[in-house]
Each structure stands twice: as structure tokens, then as C-alpha cells.
């Protein structure tokens, strides 16, 4: 006897133990392979993912759904997410979205400009910190 269909088209994605899609790998764009030097997940994220696979699958599915709901391209989406990450001083998220923006075609100048534009909103110290985190990523690309 086969499992009941979820009504969703088979996309070839992995599924969690409860059948939730896990989405694209952390740091990869939908339909793109992860660059060789960036395929390793941060240790803390990997630990959470191992302990809470259903939670992470749902989180990744939310991200995929949000990206597919509107007309923004991946580059613009990651620049927006980078801005949000900078605003909450999330170094890991700034790293992730800077890396993912590069993968989506953003230039280093576009990424830095996105952060500089935030200065009047989030303040110079926060923008400067975010620029240093962006540089961590851009110096490795």
C-alpha cells in the first residue's frame, strides 16, 4: 500500500521524517548547486538541524514559500534579507545573505551599498558592524 499523496508535485527534494520538504540547502539558491567552498553548514545550525529536523524543515519550507509568493528576484530578496539581518545585528544571517546574494548575482558594490543605505535607519555603529560582516564573506569570494 502506498502512502497517501500530499497533492504536491514531486520536486525531488528531501523530506523530513514527517514528510515536510527541507527546501534548498542552506546558502544555496533554488535550482543551483552549492559552491564547493560554501557547502558546509555552520556548526551551530547543523546541530539544531540534527536535533530538530521537523522544525528546520518547516523553517526552510517557509523561506521557500515566501520567496515564491512575489515578483522579487533572488538577488533583491537576499539584499532585503541582508538589510533585515543587519538591522537586528545578526552576524550569521548577514554572512548567509551576503553569500547568497553573491550566488544570486549581486556584486560586492551592490551588497555594500545595500548596507550603507541603512545607516540613517539603523545607525552608523550597526551599519559599520554589518559592513565588517559583509567583508568577511566578500574577502573569501
Same domain, 66 and 114: no
Same domain, 88 and 130: yes
Domain presence at residue 10:
no
The alpha helices in the chain, defined as continuous H runs, are 43-51, 53-68, 74-87, 91-103, 108-116, 119-122, 124-138
Task: Print the domain residue range for 126.
Answer: 72-141
Global pTM? Answer: 0.70
Q: Is the pLDDT of residue 131 over 50?
A: yes
CATH of the domain at 115: 1.20.1290.10
Give the pLDDT confidence of 36-69 residue by residue, as tens digits: 444 577 888 899 999 999 999 999 999 999 999 9
Same domain, 60 and 99: no
Question: What total number of domains does the chain contain?
Answer: 2
Q: What is the structure's pLDDT at 134?
A: 98
Amino acid at each position: 500500500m502506498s502512502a497517501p499523496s500530499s497533492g504536491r508535485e514531486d520536486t525531488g527534494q528531501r523530506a523530513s521524517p514527517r514528510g515536510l520538504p527541507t527546501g534548498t540547502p542552506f546558502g544555496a539558491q533554488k535550482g543551483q548547486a552549492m559552491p564547493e567552498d560554501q557547502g558546509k553548514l555552520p556548526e551551530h545550525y547543523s546541530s539544531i538541524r540534527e536535533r530538530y529536523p521537523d522544525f528546520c524543515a518547516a523553517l526552510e519550507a517557509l523561506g521557500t514559500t515566501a520567496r515564491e509568493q512575489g515578483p522579487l528576484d533572488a538577488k533583491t530578496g537576499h539584499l532585503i534579507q541582508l538589510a533585515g539581518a543587519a538591522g537586528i545585528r545578526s552576524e550569521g544571517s548577514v554572512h548567509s545573505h551576503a553569500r547568497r546574494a553573491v550566488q544570486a548575482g549581486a556584486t560586492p558594490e551592490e551588497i555594500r551599498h545595500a548596507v550603507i543605505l541603512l545607516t540613517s535607519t539603523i545607525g552608523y555603529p550597526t551599519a559599520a558592524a554589518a559592513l565588517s560582516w559583509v567583508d568577511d564573506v566578500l574577502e573569501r569570494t
